[in-house]
Structure 1
């Protein structure tokens, strides 16, 4: 999925600086040059990617014109379809090996470095592991957080636009294909289960409970049907009736077949939480860490970073609590007490949830006013705030971001999980908004999409360590911009967010490398963070099925800050924060060490 998963010289100094600071106006590589050949490779791979994945085309707003037929299809989740996805990387790597990097400079060199080494690691993993490499290291295709059963309804409701009868027919066609892809996926998990690739028992239980919730409504009350009914109110036709028939006759039966396979394998599931229990499990986790961080950091190094950051952040939070007169108990106990304070809780009602979202909109508007302090370029695309669909909120994370359509037909969206407003005290909300919306994910991803001086493939939100690292860096930036100047409670929310991400380093490596139990990881969160135990359980179970992914946030943030501070030290009074941000964001997402090289060259050009 696109948010967090896929794709992933003194004489040239002045031209490099211009290219990095404003790629929208960068000159194209000379025809016939090595840079032009590289760009042509990326453009072909991009077109192949869009043609191969109809959902990707819709996400980008490209299911029109010559690609209009793709709007009636879903991505192929059969083994053959997944292999075609792997072959795309093999093709890209083979073509990149024909490029001579010694003949590249400026943005062309950045473009080359962005994909060359990662694709090498991806292809090696495809040849090493027989499971868990659909779009990122995810050992089980169907869990409480992954699977067609939950992703396609969300996709059809929030991304499939309906303006006429042809769009409605395409929607129905996709509903038919939904059942096909469910069965394709069921075939995959059957093969995995036969090979001993079985989710932990608690994952199976959580997933089966979600299935029960999804098919509980009658077919005419299913979200797919009610969504189509709403969107076709002014389009003649028996759309809802036809959709309900597909839900009843095809989708629900396919879901029950998938759930039946999970139920059948449940007696064989163990309670072990880490991927070490799987074939080549230790190698798989090492790959997952490299995939997530784009570095060679070992599990031991990641674990230590988490412990060190937790100690420093806890001490900082302690000092703020003491300044506010809260001195008794551990920091986690005081966080827990603050989380239950009625002053900061929204009622767990429809009105309370509407008021919460209204407050988030106010926070975005206030941050928009401040952005010119830290950025020269601002995105054109807007960002909506939406509630995570109730059908999937039980297993969903607290918040996430959906990219805007390239043609402007759909804005970016920041989703917040409102299953229980007690999980979102008001003092925790600003930093989540700054992470998911602006100056976080929306700001960074929309700017990359709007750049025109880099290949289209480079405008995608690849590399979690860059995108999630930026999201977490954006939280720190908001603090540096003074948003909590008169709000110690909001600053505690920011620090708790950072503690939460630092703790992820500890528990992710704990689960998958040090062989912690699920319960030990939950206890660590309960003892360290003060967040509600229910949300802690959800988070720990997330790390069990998405190994390594959660490490990208804090690893990325520490690298973003280190890169900035190195540039500040090199430039002294010449350092300009706006230029730094514009340079780092204008070049598109990339491995974190490639970003370090970009900023090193920018700083050298600035100094000269």
Structure 2
């Protein structure tokens, strides 16, 4: 098996080879629990196995350990690593996942409590899907994560985008050891970039070329990142600023600058040159159907993103039907405000031009947006005892998306606190242009990204076994965040402000439209402009944001479909609970059952609700 890992096999051939042997291996140094030795094991053995599986994954993805805040003690060495981005590294991870999937499947489940059974179900689902994805001949394959990316480097994918933010926000610099680990990670960046370059070139040799408009955006962003790196830039500034703040003596600036300008910048130049080669041969077809084996890649990406087996056709029709229902709710409110011409999306465009709902331009408007968000977080936090039987109180930091990422980044995103409490939950907001936001859409965005959305839900998941804090499923994460938007409405967030309710309904329409355009782009032959026009005219969102969204769907196929599919399943389970419990039903108990069950595939969520109904 070790020979297989080191052999120059394609990813598909490698995964196929795994299926022909029973000599399953894990990384050197990882404890292996033979199936024969755990046949009669109980709860403690199950927990030990789950922990072992978690650390096996984190050895391949050490940045996750830092993001979770668990790279401490005997695992502190992970803080100095970034992971192997080469194809050999991908193959080694596939071997670990396949081995640990088999171990999880064979572990005897009799006698385990419901929570641990759920954890095993989650591992088996996540790993089976990831192993299936790693058998595809190209792409960045998530393991219990959200980003399905056929292109290893593009406008919103790749170390040149991810690592500056990660090193500044997730890598701690509290003492000399942390600063040395930062320097060690800087030394690993050129290897990561080289590994990505290898996979970029391999994909190109297969005929996998991103569309020209994505390459234009990637080239623009990487050029700016390259200029920054040639001068030391953000990667140097971060360690200098934080060591100064902590009073950590050392020649951090000169050491970091030498690595960034002497090693990282040349590695970026090589990636930039490859992107230019690809741009010279790229076409304009936006969807996966134009790529080699693209239909199979998209089928898998939908499965990964929705944790269902729904077909592109089914998802497309679901989007059309759901959008019609939401537009029906928007129409009377728009009419009451005097907007009567065009469909609801077109009327929302008219509403967006109302100066009452705009923020000031420039830094003054940026500061106004930050204050607005803080106020809404304070309000919704106070309403949570009405929605949850057990209330938490996570810290939420509102931060601007780094400026070098803003062009290719979404409007906002949120992340859970570190498991050890060392880093708060974070609400990242895109402030490249204050015209991206309106006063009627930010309340809903707050509920989605912060409370009771991503940050809130992540705090509950962090209380589960480590493997559950690592594994997150797009349909649950984003489905819950959309459901959180509805909870905001049910808590009265918009009762006194019809425009804010329109913002909430517009956000729902936005996610229904995603079902239509994502499947249209990747499975029905839609052009980029067709998708932009449909999104713009039906959502009421500006052309700039619409274009950014469409380009995101082209580089993350299927990901946008998880939102509405997940929300509708949570609502279906809520209706099921209401029917089953009758007068005994309590919203606080249902919501708690969902979040305490943890981030899970949708079929596992259904099982958790079944157990809640039987309790």
- 1:187 pairs, out of 183, 186, 198, with 198
**Structure 1 residue 131 displacement after superposition:** 4.0
Per-residue deviation, residues 101-132 of structure 1 (Å, max 9, x unmatched): 56656233322322324433332343353444
Q: 251-260 or 227-236, which moves further after superposition? A: 227-236
- 2:433 pairs, out of 412, 420, 437, with 420
Per-residue deviation, residues 388-423 of structure 1 (Å, max 9, x unmatched): 001110000011112321111111101010111111
Matched, 1:39 2:47: yes
Asked if the contact 2:130–2:142 (Cα under 8 Å) also holds between the matched residues in 1, the reply is: no
Q: Which residue of 2 aligns with 1:578?
A: 588
Asked if the contact 1:220–1:226 (Cα under 8 Å) also holds between the matched residues in 2, the reply is: no
**Structure 1 residue 334 displacement after superposition:** 1.7
Alignment map for 1:465-544 (pairs within 5 Å) = 465-544=475-554
Gaps of 5+ in 1: 1-29
Q: Distance in 2 between matches of 1:274 and 1:542?
A: 11
Q: Which residue of 2 aligns with 1:259?
A: 272
- Indicate how the Cα distance of structure 1 residues 209 and 316 shifts in structure 2: closer, same or farther if over 3 A, else same: same
Q: Secondary structure at the match of 1:394?
A: helix
Q: 171-180 or 356-365, which moves further after superposition? A: 171-180
Give the superposed CA RMSD: 1.9
Q: 144-153 or 128-137, which moves further after superposition? A: 128-137
Q: Distance in 2 between matches of 1:103 and 1:298?
A: 37
Q: Which residue of 1 aligns with 2:577?
A: 567
Q: Which residue of 2 aligns with 1:224?
A: 235
- Indicate how the Cα distance of structure 1 residues 45 and 357 shifts in structure 2: closer, same or farther if over 3 A, else same: same
Alignment map for 1:304-323 (pairs within 5 Å) = 304-323=317-336
Aligned length: 573
Asked if the contact 1:364–1:433 (Cα under 8 Å) also holds between the matched residues in 2, the reply is: yes
Q: Distance in 1 between matches of 2:77 and 2:614?
A: 49
Q: 116-125 or 319-328, which moves further after superposition? A: 116-125
Asked if the contact 2:232–2:260 (Cα under 8 Å) also holds between the matched residues in 1, the reply is: no
Alignment map for 1:403-414 (pairs within 5 Å) = 403-414=416-427
Q: Distance in 2 between matches of 1:165 and 1:105?
A: 43
**Structure 1 residue 599 displacement after superposition:** 1.0
Q: Which residue of 2 aligns with 1:549?
A: 559
- 1:86 pairs, out of 84, 94, 100, with 94
- 2:399 pairs, out of 381, 386, 394, with 386
Asked if the contact 1:59–1:403 (Cα under 8 Å) also holds between the matched residues in 2, the reply is: no
Q: Which residue of 2 aligns with 1:205?
A: 216
Matched, 1:69 2:77: yes
Q: Distance in 2 between matches of 1:114 and 1:69?
A: 28
- 1:99 pairs, out of 90, 103, 107, with 107
Matched, 1:110 2:121: no
Gaps of 5+ in 2: 1-37
**Structure 1 residue 41 displacement after superposition:** 2.3
Q: Which residue of 1 aligns with 2:25?
A: none
Q: Secondary structure at the match of 2:441?
A: helix
- 2:408 pairs, out of 395, 402, 411, with 395
Q: Which residue of 2 aligns with 1:288?
A: 301
Q: Which residue of 1 aligns with 2:15?
A: none
Q: Secondary structure at the match of 2:423?
A: coil
Q: Distance in 1 between matches of 2:148 and 2:166?
A: 21
- 2:174 pairs, out of 163, 168, 173, with 163
**Structure 1 residue 591 displacement after superposition:** 1.1
Q: Which residue of 2 aligns with 1:351?
A: 364
Alignment map for 1:129-168 (pairs within 5 Å) = 129-133=137-141, 135=143, 137-168=148-179
- 1:48 pairs, out of 47, 56, 69, with 56
- Indicate how the Cα distance of structure 1 residues 317 and 216 shifts in structure 2: closer, same or farther if over 3 A, else same: same
Matched, 1:438 2:451: yes
Q: Distance in 2 between matches of 1:134 and 1:440?
A: 22
Asked if the contact 1:445–1:460 (Cα under 8 Å) also holds between the matched residues in 2, the reply is: no
Per-residue deviation, residues 22-49 of structure 1 (Å, max 9, x unmatched): xxxxxxxx99445544433211101212
**Structure 1 residue 134 displacement after superposition:** 5.6
Q: Distance in 2 between matches of 1:121 and 1:46?
A: 16
Q: Distance in 2 between matches of 1:106 and 1:246?
A: 50
Q: Distance in 2 between matches of 1:193 and 1:251?
A: 23
Q: Distance in 1 between matches of 2:406 and 2:204?
A: 27
Q: Distance in 2 between matches of 1:89 and 1:276?
A: 28
**Structure 1 residue 169 displacement after superposition:** 2.1
Q: Distance in 2 between matches of 1:380 and 1:172?
A: 35
Per-residue deviation, residues 186-210 of structure 1 (Å, max 9, x unmatched): 1110111111111111111110000
Asked if the contact 1:41–1:92 (Cα under 8 Å) also holds between the matched residues in 2, the reply is: no
Task: Report which structure shows greater RCO (CA 8 Å, sep ≥6).
Answer: 1
Q: Distance in 1 between matches of 2:142 and 2:469?
A: 21
